Amino acid sequence: MAASNLYSVNTIDANGTEAKFRVPVAGTIFSPSAAGPLAIKTALKNAINSAVVGGELSTAATVASYTPAATGYFTVQDRLVLTFPGEDGSTQNYRIPAPVDGIFEAGSDSIVDVGNALIVTYSGAMGANAKTEANITLEDISSGLRTGTKLEKGR
């Protein structure tokens, strides 16, 4: 069994706070610009309100050009915890910072709608490219919840 490699995406929120999202990927992926990491990075960019300012070994974007969305959750302390089952029945939780509005179930601002188009795209990118720490393929997101110690919404 091949070992996993770790792909990291750096984000920064509207307050200037940085966070790093880390996910194991197949051991055969050696470049942050390979198709798998790029799919994860692109899907993550569309599902969060933080700026994605770089990935492991990639060139950082200019933070000054980042303008946050008009509504949403703006701090990296406010996160989604997304649960992915592995093919072996294990589960892997990933925390992503500063989620965008509109990805929650109707009438909720904390339960993720796993059928939302942005979440489906993110789930597909993760399932196709990410692995559990034991190098097991991930299945579609089974659940998601917004959590955080500092919930800051809107502007």
Residue 114's pLDDT band, with cuts at 50, 70 and 90, is very high
132 vs 113, higher pLDDT: 113
User: Is the pLDDT score of 106 beyond 60?
Assistant: yes
User: Is the pLDDT score of 124 beyond 50?
Assistant: yes
**pLDDT tens track for 53-99:** 877 633 333 334 445 555 555 566 678 889 999 888 888 888 887 78
User: Is the pLDDT score of 117 beyond 90?
Assistant: yes
Of 94, 117, 109, residue with least CA distance to 46:
117
Q: What is the pLDDT of residue 137?
A: 87
Average pLDDT of span 97-112: 84
Cα–Cα distance, 2 to 118 (Å, whole number): 30
Q: What is the pLDDT of residue 155?
A: 43
Of 115, 138, 109, residue with least CA distance to 23:
138
Q: What is the pLDDT of residue 27?
A: 65
Per the document, the length of the chain is 155
